[in-house]
Protein backbone atom coordinates (compact mmCIF):
# COMPACT_ATOMS: atom_id res chain seq x y z
CA UNK A 1 0.00 0.00 0.00
CA UNK A 2 1.22 3.47 -0.69
CA UNK A 3 0.31 6.71 0.97
CA UNK A 4 -1.71 7.29 4.11
CA UNK A 5 -4.62 4.95 4.77
CA UNK A 6 -7.16 4.79 7.58
CA UNK A 7 -6.62 1.03 7.92
CA UNK A 8 -4.84 -1.96 6.39
CA UNK A 9 -7.56 -4.40 5.45
CA UNK A 10 -11.18 -5.48 5.59
CA UNK A 11 -12.34 -8.66 7.29
CA UNK A 12 -15.87 -9.99 6.87
CA UNK A 13 -16.80 -12.81 9.26
CA UNK A 14 -19.93 -14.86 8.69
CA UNK A 15 -21.24 -17.48 11.13
CA UNK A 16 -24.31 -19.09 9.57
CA UNK A 17 -26.76 -21.38 11.32
CA UNK A 18 -29.14 -23.68 9.47
CA UNK A 19 -27.12 -23.91 6.24
CA UNK A 20 -27.82 -26.66 3.69
CA UNK A 21 -26.32 -29.92 5.00
CA UNK A 22 -25.56 -31.41 1.57
CA UNK A 23 -23.80 -28.25 0.42
CA UNK A 24 -21.70 -28.23 3.59
CA UNK A 25 -20.45 -31.77 2.84
CA UNK A 26 -19.55 -30.90 -0.77
CA UNK A 27 -15.75 -30.50 -0.95
CA UNK A 28 -15.84 -29.56 -4.65
CA UNK A 29 -18.49 -26.91 -4.02
CA UNK A 30 -16.34 -25.40 -1.28
CA UNK A 31 -13.25 -25.47 -3.55
CA UNK A 32 -15.20 -23.75 -6.34
CA UNK A 33 -16.63 -21.21 -3.88
CA UNK A 34 -13.13 -20.21 -2.82
CA UNK A 35 -12.20 -19.61 -6.47
CA UNK A 36 -15.45 -17.80 -7.27
CA UNK A 37 -15.14 -15.53 -4.22
CA UNK A 38 -11.71 -14.48 -5.47
CA UNK A 39 -13.25 -13.48 -8.76
CA UNK A 40 -16.05 -11.62 -7.02
CA UNK A 41 -13.55 -9.70 -4.89
CA UNK A 42 -11.01 -9.13 -7.68
CA UNK A 43 -8.12 -10.58 -5.69
CA UNK A 44 -5.10 -12.63 -6.75
CA UNK A 45 -4.81 -16.30 -5.77
CA UNK A 46 -1.24 -17.23 -4.71
CA UNK A 47 -1.79 -20.99 -4.54
CA UNK A 48 -4.60 -23.41 -5.34
CA UNK A 49 -7.37 -23.64 -2.73
CA UNK A 50 -6.90 -26.45 -0.22
CA UNK A 51 -9.97 -28.32 0.98
CA UNK A 52 -9.76 -30.99 3.65
CA UNK A 53 -12.07 -33.23 5.64
CA UNK A 54 -12.10 -33.80 9.39
CA UNK A 55 -13.56 -37.05 10.73
CA UNK A 56 -16.20 -36.96 13.43
CA UNK A 57 -14.59 -37.05 16.86
CA UNK A 58 -11.14 -35.82 15.75
CA UNK A 59 -11.65 -32.40 17.29
CA UNK A 60 -14.13 -30.70 19.59
CA UNK A 61 -16.69 -30.59 16.80
CA UNK A 62 -18.39 -33.16 14.64
CA UNK A 63 -16.81 -33.94 11.28
CA UNK A 64 -16.69 -31.32 8.61
CA UNK A 65 -14.97 -29.71 5.67
CA UNK A 66 -12.51 -26.82 5.72
CA UNK A 67 -11.26 -24.89 2.73
CA UNK A 68 -8.74 -22.08 2.51
CA UNK A 69 -7.13 -20.05 -0.22
CA UNK A 70 -4.11 -17.80 0.27
CA UNK A 71 -4.26 -14.50 -1.58
CA UNK A 72 -1.76 -11.81 -2.45
CA UNK A 73 -4.17 -9.63 -0.47
CA UNK A 74 -4.65 -12.10 2.47
CA UNK A 75 -6.96 -15.18 2.68
CA UNK A 76 -10.43 -16.68 2.55
CA UNK A 77 -11.50 -19.64 4.67
CA UNK A 78 -14.69 -21.67 4.88
CA UNK A 79 -15.35 -24.08 7.74
CA UNK A 80 -18.41 -26.31 7.30
CA UNK A 81 -19.96 -28.54 9.96
CA UNK A 82 -22.83 -30.39 8.25
CA UNK A 83 -24.20 -32.29 11.26
CA UNK A 84 -24.62 -28.95 13.03
CA UNK A 85 -25.71 -27.16 9.80
CA UNK A 86 -23.12 -24.49 10.67
CA UNK A 87 -20.81 -22.56 8.38
CA UNK A 88 -18.09 -20.17 9.50
CA UNK A 89 -16.35 -18.04 6.86
CA UNK A 90 -13.56 -15.46 6.96
CA UNK A 91 -13.08 -13.17 3.99
CA UNK A 92 -10.02 -11.00 4.62
CA UNK A 93 -8.37 -8.66 2.14
CA UNK A 94 -6.07 -5.65 2.28
CA UNK A 95 -7.93 -4.42 -0.81
CA UNK A 96 -10.43 -1.75 0.26
CA UNK A 97 -14.05 -1.47 -0.85
CA UNK A 98 -15.31 -5.03 -0.27
CA UNK A 99 -18.87 -5.43 -1.51
CA UNK A 100 -20.21 -6.96 1.69
CA UNK A 101 -23.72 -7.43 0.33
CA UNK A 102 -22.43 -9.35 -2.68
CA UNK A 103 -20.38 -11.64 -0.43
CA UNK A 104 -23.36 -12.26 1.86
CA UNK A 105 -25.61 -13.06 -1.10
CA UNK A 106 -22.92 -15.39 -2.44
CA UNK A 107 -23.20 -17.51 0.72
CA UNK A 108 -27.01 -17.37 0.55
CA UNK A 109 -26.97 -18.75 -3.00
CA UNK A 110 -24.32 -21.45 -2.47
CA UNK A 111 -25.18 -22.77 1.00
CA UNK A 112 -28.83 -21.85 1.56
CA UNK A 113 -27.80 -19.42 4.26
CA UNK A 114 -30.56 -17.33 5.85
CA UNK A 115 -28.99 -13.95 6.64
CA UNK A 116 -31.50 -13.53 9.46
CA UNK A 117 -29.91 -16.57 11.10
CA UNK A 118 -26.31 -15.36 10.90
CA UNK A 119 -23.79 -13.51 13.00
CA UNK A 120 -22.00 -11.13 10.64
CA UNK A 121 -19.15 -8.86 11.60
CA UNK A 122 -17.11 -6.48 9.50
CA UNK A 123 -13.78 -5.36 10.91
CA UNK A 124 -11.34 -2.80 9.62
CA UNK A 125 -7.97 -4.34 10.44
CA UNK A 126 -4.70 -2.53 11.06
CA UNK A 127 -6.10 0.86 11.97
CA UNK A 128 -2.58 1.99 12.95
CA UNK A 129 -0.85 0.44 9.92
CA UNK A 130 2.22 2.61 9.16
CA UNK A 131 2.09 4.70 5.99
CA UNK A 132 5.84 4.13 5.44
CA UNK A 133 8.35 1.32 5.98
CA UNK A 134 10.02 1.34 9.39
CA UNK A 135 13.77 0.92 9.52
11, 33, 74, 118: the catalytic one is 74
Q: Can you give the pLDDT of all 135 residues of the chain as single tens digits? A: 445 578 999 999 999 999 999 999 999 999 999 999 999 999 999 999 999 998 776 566 678 999 999 999 999 999 999 999 999 999 999 999 999 999 999 999 999 999 999 999 999 999 999 988 998
Residue 34 pLDDT: 98
Out of 33, 79, 93, 118, which one is annotated catalytic? 79
DSSP H/E element including 119? strand 118-125
25: closest CA among 56, 70, 47? 56
Reference 93, options 111, 69, 118; nearest CA is 69
Residue 74 annotated to the active site: yes
This prediction has a pTM of 0.91
Find out whether 131 and 5 touch, Cβ atoms under 8 Å. yes
Check if 11 is active-site.
no
**Domains of the chain by range and CATH?**
9-125 (3.60.90.10)
* Count of positions (residues) in the chain: 135
How far from each other are the two terminal CA atoms of the chain, in whole angstroms?
A: 17
Q: Is 93 a catalytic residue?
A: no
pLDDT value of residue 1 = 42
pLDDT at residue 113, rounded to an integer: 93
Q: Which residue blocks in 16-99 are alpha helix, DSSP H? A: 21-25, 27-41
d(CA 76, CA 63): 20
Amino acid sequence: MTGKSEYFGEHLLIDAYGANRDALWDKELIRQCLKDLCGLLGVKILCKPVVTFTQDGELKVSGGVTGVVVLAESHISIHAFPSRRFLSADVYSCKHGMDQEAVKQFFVSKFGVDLGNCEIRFIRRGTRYPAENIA
